[in-house]
Amino acid sequence: MSWPNLADLIVDAGTQAPIGLVGAPLATGSVTPGRCDLAPAELRKVLRRIGRYDIDTRRELGSLIADHGDVAIDGLTIADATGPIREVCAASVSRHELTLLIGGNNAVTRPGLHALDLHLEKIGLITLDAHFDMRSTADGLANGNPVRALLEDGLSGANVAQVGLAPFANSFDMHRDAEAAGNLVVTQAEVDEAGIDAAVDRALAHVGHCEALMVDCDIDVIDRSQFPAAPGARPCGMQARDFFAAVRKLAAHPKLRIIDLTEWDPPLDPTDLSSLVAGRWLAEVVAGFEAR
């Protein structure tokens, strides 16, 4: 008897499907150089090991996912890769109810958000991330400054909620600037104290006035012991079970149009732990989507 798995749901880009998938293997401009460009291929590979049946809800996932392949950005700078990533994501957004953007480093978040093709005042961004991503853009775009770059593009802090921020992984200036912009800041300590459901509720309430949402899942928000292939991850980060719960709840929101997974550097983990967590991320996204 065959074992239904997530790979069964992947179909060609031309197939009618409610969900689209775009690979953005961007590695240039990383604060910590690595091979995040390998992540899209690794995710596709691990899907055969992730089942479709959720024993807790007694439901089997069935939503097809149209794979648009990887954006052709090999060797490009972040600035040069921004246009192609936005273009392919925009095509996916126009065809599918939800688009999965698989980085690559966190710089893919900015073109992903612009792919929604709405005025920035109508778009909300929720980040699950240990970092503010508010480094200076004075020296150009990097994986450490997509949130600052989006604010400089005109995105209001009233439209930005950041969850999972870690101690000793950021700077006072970044924190000050995020709060001055009006971003909602929910630290990992607050998540641990009040629970992940309360944290997600706060984030959704902050961006509730927006017409469309993007969620940025920087995988380094997870405790490093549970995802060692994230170069920016720290000890005492978000528990994987909380990350999964947050992703499912966010994916269930009808305004969510695009969600990304970034900062996975496969060679850093010689085991299969990180790839299995990433594969479970996709299962949680689909489960949340089907709960709409």
pLDDT at 30: 77
pLDDT at 33: 81
pTM for the model stands at 0.97
Spans of all domains in the chain: 6-290
pLDDT at 133: 96
Q: Pairing relation of β-strands 53-54 and 59-60?
A: antiparallel
Q: What is the mean pLDDT of each run of 10 residues along the chain (292 residues)?
A: 90 96 91 90 98 97 98 95 98 98 96 96 98 95 95 98 97 97 98 98 98 98 97 96 98 98 97 98 98 97
Is the domain spanning 6-290 CATH 3.10.50.40? The answer is no
pLDDT at 2: 76
pLDDT at 1: 55
Listed residue (253, 265, 144, 248) closest to 206, CA to CA: 253
224 Rama class: left (phi>0) / alpha (psi -120 to 50) / beta: alpha
Q: d(Cα 267, Cα 39) in Å, to the nearest integer?
A: 10
